Structure 1
Amino acid sequence: MNEISAIPQGEQDGAKSDDEAGTLPHHIEAEQQLLGAILTNNDVYDRVAQIIKPEHFYEPVHARIFEISANRISKNALASPVTLKAFMEDDDGLKELGGPAYLARIAGAAISSFAARDYAQMIYDLAVRRELIRLGGDISAKAAKVEATSEPMDQIVEAEQSLYKLAEQGQATTGFVSFLSAVTDAVQVANAAYMRDGGLAGVSTGLIDLDKKLGGLHRSDLLILAGRPSMGKTSLATNIAFNIAKAYKKGTLPDGSEGAIEGGVVGFYSLEMSSEQLAARILSEASEVPSEQIRRGDMTEGEFRRFVDAAKALESCPLYIDDTAAIPIAQLAARARRLKREKGLDVLIVDYLQLVRGTAENRVQEIGEISMGLKAIAKELQIPVIALSQLSRQVESRDDKRPQLSDLRESGSIEQDADVVMFVYREEYYAEREKPGEDNLEAMAAWQERMERLYGKAEVVIGKQRHGPIGNVELSFEGRFTRFGNLVQPWQQGDDQGF
């Protein structure tokens, strides 16, 4: 009983009826001593509550002792051998271990409160090992059972989901941190921005005016990029993804770890378009060959050569695309964690939010679950997450088609969880559809003048920003290449800083 053992612990394991229980890793004495520490000093519970739960104990009686103690402590009631005796006098498992006297014995074997977290972590780690053994057995049993309705690929997906679900558990929260610690982190972020060219605190989008307004893409932020169909939100997202991946440079970060010192590794969930279609859009921008010509294969020799050269140049670009349709939010999070672990991950883009699946039956609650899940990914992985979103049709019924926060579909949860909400707006798109009749010369002249003023221009309307101003950012838009760019202002003519 004094060491981690795969052998049953005599009468203390008498409650185990499973023949395989003896092969599972466990540490009865660690469980006893941790419970003893909690029963003699209830403050210990607060130190370990984020690490272990009742189900992590190997001995079922210990799980019940922990659960009853937790319930009493959470109600500001005392949990001790005397108070627990009333709740467990009729517990058959406790009777086998000696009855209420057993509670007094484990209290007498209590460890120091300083060691409580280490013991709790040990108990949790052993519980994870037992769960891995159980999952391995389930996977093996299902694989051995050949059934027409059970496809091997489905079993692989199911096994992967079970493993990632297990990996998500037990991640202890940081709890409260001192103001000094928070201030130190804030100063480090400000110093990084001060030392970086352009003074950006976050990852550059490659669009100068947008960067000035946002300060770059900040870690832990959820950014919503919304727009009506044909406004170009996917194009803007792919442009930003391409700009970030193209600028990627690896180096030593201020904390001494390896990471992106410029640009970054980009993960792109393309739930609407296939990876080939998305790649074609990016190649269209890079090679300056219209995307519809790429689709048809209608290219001159020079255009095709530019297309191939662009493809070769982008082979090493750290841009990873997942085009799984209707992906569940939990699986989306698990794959993002895996990408960060295997390749690194600096920016995550989801196109688009309404195509992700949640678990709630109510649509509004499902969208709330998804937006909260995306925000949680941003905070956990310490990366900016850009999620595209559709706008409701009420935009089309207004004279002023410029979108606003209330136009977001299921806007309550999205608007609440987002740190930044941006709208893509191209007035040129709506103006084209308002062309007057040929016989109305005056109206035609006014329309042509308006079209000249709007040609090749787009706006990003920043409707919400937690740590910066709201307002409009003007961009250039080349529809042939589905490319947004920096717009040269009148006072910048003759200056090449716009491109």
Structure 2
Amino acid sequence: MNALSATLDPVLPNAFDSEQGLLGAILHHNDAIDRAREFVQPDDFSDAVHQQIFAAMVTRRDAGEAIDLGLMKAVLGDADLGGITVGQYLINLMHGATTVSNAPSYARLITQAARMRTVIETAQIGIAAMTGSTVHDPAETAGNMIEALDAVASAALAEHARRVSLGASAANVLARANQVRQGAAPRGVPYGVPRLDGATLGMRGGQLVILAGRPAMGKTTVGLHVAISAARHSGPVGFFSMEMDASELSERVMAAVAYDPRAQDVISYRAIADASSLSNEAMERLIKAQRTCAGIPLWIEPQAGLTLAQIAARARQMRLQAERQGKPLAAIVVDHIGLIRPSKRYSGNRVQEMTEISSGLKGLAKELGIPVVGLCQLNREVEKRPDKRPLLSDLRDSGSIEQDADVVLGLFRESYYLEHKVGRTDEEDICLSNCQNELEIEILKQRSGPTIRVTCFCDIACNVLAEVTR
């Protein structure tokens, strides 16, 4: 501690109660240390005695031996514990213990307090260098401060985003490959379309996935299908709805969950919204659908006009909420990215605004280590072609979406164009009948995989999507 900090006599942040609660939990249940060590190290404890206790616990655990009161008494010996005996202090720790499930949360609090102490102490060093009578090299002082603060910032990053050597990264890849071969690790977050999952290996952490199409091509239907599939199989999913409120989205989800091709009554989401024509049988199916929906961790953010910064902040909150529930955040879906409110930096320049948004979404995917799915509306140039299936080049006037995206999926429903065509021929009527409930999903871009086209059954009115098996 330097002279300036001593004069200011700051009260440095600490999580003393959390330290005691965590140590007590480990004494009760040794498994708690395994959950805590991912987040906290001995030096993170503000109290020197607690540092000593935790270091001894780590050593004992690594040796495969039990952590008990006898060990702690031997470690502490005659340490000064503020006038109470070692035995009494340990008993106090056990009385204030948290649960095993809360151990990671307590460990994070201890680590966050330690990082805040580093930030404050680094600032004090800088102030002392500026106000002291001795002139210091500002570049050296600034360099030391940057190094210390960067260590704090890097420590807060998710594991996948931290600096790593090629050797360590290659070892991680090999370990994961072995896990996949043994069926112990998933390949990626599923789209819920088997051929698509097979071609892409699922949605991988850090990927920006774009679902692109013209209006009425089924972007929201596919986006909700992907979100529900991911939530059911991989963990909570955040759905940012920039157009619809939570009730509208829930009507669509309930229509999909209640869908039964064998039933006489087809329950569309419009019928659910109207409700006046719903039969008793339909209501029974909707009650069952509601119960099913209650078990799907799909979190809806319905506020319109969110900025990229607001989406990022809420996605981080979702990740913390998921972690508190002991689950990883699986993905976030944004419907749609054209409605994200841009910053004022490129006001009036739509191409630059979209570039900022797409690169920001890609950055968010890498930061959180999850796939980010962005729905994207293509421009009217598509309508000028005889074949209106989307092409990757249709994104080239939309900022850097084409470059930022890891996977681009083009959506197309031929039935929509046939339905709205004036003067259809008999041949076109037959074609419309055959493709009435078809939706094509084409991989227009994939950084490391094939580009294929998958035909799906799609009932837009019921928000249902399923792969067609031929």
TM-score (norm 2): 0.66
Counterpart of 2:53 in structure 1 is none
Measure how far apart 1:352 and its partner are.
0.7
1:427 and 2:414 are equivalent in the alignment: yes
- SS of the residue 2:294 aligns to: coil
1:350 aligns with 2:334: yes
Matched with 1:341 is: 320
Letter in 2 for 1:292: R
Residue of structure 2 equivalent to 1:325: 304
Query: Aligned to 2:272, which of 294, 310, 316?
Result: 294
In structure 1, the partner of 2:464 is: 483
Matched, 1:268 2:246: no
CA deviation profile, 1:355-408 (whole Å, cap 9, x unmatched) = 112322232222111111111111111111110011000001111101111212
After TM superposition, give the deviation of residue 170 of structure 1 in Å.
7.6
Q: Match of 1:57?
A: 123
Q: Shift in Å at residue 451 of structure 1?
A: 1.6
Which residue is 1:458 aligned to?
A: 439
State whether residues 4 and 124 of structure 2, in contact with CA within 8 Å, keep that contact through their aligned partners in structure 1. Answer: no
Structure 2 partner of 1:308? 287
Choose from 441, 446, 453 the match for 1:472.
Answer: 453
1:293-315, CA deviations, whole angstroms, 9 ceiling, x for partnerless residues?
Answer: 11111211100111122102211
Deviates more, 1:390-399 or 1:238-247: 238-247
Say which SS state the counterpart of residue 305 (structure 1) adopts: helix
Q: Does 1:246 align with 2:232?
A: yes
Q: CA deviation at 1:118?
A: 12
Tell me by how many angstroms 1:57 deviates.
2.3
**Aligned pair 1:216/2:172, yes or no?**
no
Superposition map of 1:391-470 within 5 A: 391-408=378-395, 410-434=397-421, 436=423, 443-444=425-426, 446-470=427-451
Q: CA-to-partner distance for each residue in 1:54-101, whole Å, 9 max, x for gaps?
A: 99623665576xxxxxxxxxxxxxxxxxxxxxxxxxxxx4xxx3244x
What's the offset of the Cα at 1:274?
0.5
Task: Please point out which of 242, 253, 271 is paired with 1:282.
Answer: 253
Q: 1:24 to 1:422 in 2, by over 3 A?
A: same
Which residue matches 1:225? 211
- Secondary structure of 1:219 counterpart: coil
Distance in 2 (CA, whole Å) between partners of 1:393 and 1:328 is: 25
Q: 1:171 to 1:287 in 2, by over 3 A?
A: closer
Which letter maps to 2:270? E
Q: Report the Cα offset of residue 210 of structure 1.
A: 1.4
Following superposition, the deviation at residue 176 of structure 1 comes to 5.3
Q: Percent identity among equivalent residues?
A: 34
CA 1:103 to 1:264, structure 2 compared with 1: closer, same or farther past 3 Å? Answer: closer
Which among 184, 188, 207 is matched to residue 171 of structure 2? 184
Please provide the CA RMSD for this pair. 3.5
Q: Give the 3-state SS of the residue equivalent to 1:58 in structure 2.
A: helix
Residue equivalent to 1:366:
353
Q: Quick check: 2:415–2:435 contact (8 Å CA) kept in 1?
A: yes
* Residue 53 of structure 1: how far off its partner (Å): 9.8
Deviation at 1:416, TM superposition (A): 0.8
Contact 1:246 1:317 (8 Å CA) reproduced: yes
SS of equivalent to 1:423: strand
Aligned equivalents of 1:436, 1:103: Cα separation in 2:
81
C-alpha distance 3-380 of structure 1, shift in aligned 2 (>3 A): farther
1:147 — aligned with what? none
Structure 1 residues 186, 335: closer, same or farther in 2, change over 3 A?
A: same
Offset at residue 191 of structure 1 (A) = 2.9
Matches within 5 A, 1:111-130: 120=148
Which residue identity does 1:212 align to in structure 2?
G
Q: Secondary structure at the match of 1:223?
A: strand
Q: Secondary structure at the match of 2:225?
A: helix
Evaluate the alpha carbon distance shift between residue 301 and residue 170 of structure 1 in structure 2; reply closer, same or farther with a 3 A threshold.
closer
Task: Look up the equivalent residue of 1:58 and give its one-letter code.
Answer: Q
Cα drift, residue 244 of structure 1: 2.3
Residue by residue over 1:209-231, the C-alpha shift from the partner in whole angstroms, topping out at 9 and shown as x without a partner, is 11112111111111000111100
Indicate the SS of the match to 1:314: helix
Distance (Å, rounded) in 1 between the aligned partners of 2:180 and 2:318: 26
Counterpart CA distance in 1 for 2:465 and 2:249 is 15
Deviation, 1:178, is 2.4
Indicate the SS of the match to 2:205.
coil
Deviations 1:259-302 (Å, cap 9, x if unpaired)? xxxx3211110111101101110000011221111111121110
| Aligned partners of 1:193 and 1:202 also within 8 Å | no
Residues 4/207 of structure 1: CA separation in 2 closer, same or farther (3 Å cut): farther
The residue identity in structure 2 corresponding to 1:269 is F
Q: CA deviation at 1:239?
A: 1.1
Q: How far, CA to CA, are the matches of 1:169 and 1:357 in structure 2?
A: 31
Identify which of 368, 386, 392 aligns with 1:381: 368
Distance in 2 (CA, whole Å) between partners of 1:176 and 1:242 is: 33
CA distance 1:348–1:300, shift in 2 (3 Å):
same
Q: Distance in 1 between matches of 2:314 and 2:129?
A: 33
Does the 8 Å contact 1:194/1:200 carry over to 2?
no
- CA offsets 1:195-247 (integer angstroms, 9 cap, x no match): 339x9621122211111121111111110001111000110110111122233
**Post-superposition CA distance 1:155-214 (Å, at most 9, x none):** xxxxxxxxxxxx9998599675322222122223333433339x9621122211111121
Structure 1-normalised TM-score?
0.63
The residue aligned with 1:237 is 223
Number of residues of Structure 1 aligned to a counterpart in Structure 2: 348
Question: Could you tell me whether the CA contact under 8 Å between 1:475 and 1:485 is conserved in 2?
Answer: yes
1:160 is aligned to: none
The 1-side partners of 2:129 and 2:393 are apart by: 49
Q: Is the 8 A contact 1:367 1:414 kept in 2?
A: yes
1:124 CA displacement? 8.5
Letter in 2 for 1:397: K
How big is each residue's C-alpha offset from its partner over 1:1-43, in whole Å with a ceiling of 9 and x where there is no partner? 55895643xxxxxxxxxxxxx65759xxxxxxxxxxxxxxxxx
CA distance in 1, matches of 2:204, 2:452: 18
Contact 2:209 2:372 in 1 (8 A): yes
In 2, are the aligned partners of 1:206 and 1:240 still within 8 Å (CA)? yes
Q: Tell me by how many angstroms 1:330 deviates.
A: 1.1
